[in-house]
Amino acid sequence: MAKSAQYKSIDNAVEYFIAHKRDQIWQKNQVKWKEAFRFQLLLLDTYINHKASPNLMNSFMYRLALGYWGIQTQNGITSGICTENSINLPSNLTTGDHIFGAVEIGKCVHEAFVNNNRNIDYMVNTWLYENIWLWITIKVTKQEHKSENIIKNGHSIEEKKILKHYVQVSKLMAKL
């Protein structure tokens, strides 16, 4: 039996995650995710109020505070999706790719926060559930994760949703 026989091909990672994984994972983690996100938004509000430099916004607020730790899970949310080449490989030969990139996640949260009048309750209680997909990861081989195979910078969230930055990656799969 082929290694991918127990898997099905996936066309859209975000749609798959929302349809098959989000609610189950949300129910299990929403309390800690909401708490962490609330505190990161309070920190973002402070950075905005005190006019933090673009460098500080990018390096700390966007990348670390929101991108990696926005929901208290540095490794992101396992989407249940992997590349065909990563199936059955030992974990030391694979990695979880943050599809949207930590800095882009942070920028997206910042924009939504400002567009929603910096309403922390709305962001925590409504926006986060609707956009939790921003933190998903896809299991890829370490070779596929190299910058010539997955372009790390230069694509918008919308472009990353259709995986335009995945230039040399095997077919996306999900376990049946």
pLDDT for 140 equals: 98
Sign for the CA dihedral angle at 60, 76, 40, 20 comes to positive
| % of residues, the chain, pLDDT over 70 | 98
pLDDT for 176 equals: 86
Query: Is the pLDDT confidence value at 110 over 90?
Result: yes
| Lowest mean pLDDT across 3-12, 71-80, 125-134 | 3-12
pLDDT for 1 equals: 43
Please write the tens of the pLDDT for every residue from 16-50: 999 999 999 999 999 999 999 999 999 999 999 99
pLDDT for 105 equals: 96
Whether the Cβ atoms of residue 38 and residue 120 lie closer than 8 Å to each other: yes
Query: Is the pLDDT confidence value at 72 over 50?
Result: yes
Average pLDDT over all residues of the chain? 95
Over range 142-152, report the average pLDDT. Answer: 96
Q: Is 154 left (phi over 0), alpha (psi -120 to 50) or beta?
A: left
pLDDT for 165 equals: 96
pLDDT for 153 equals: 85
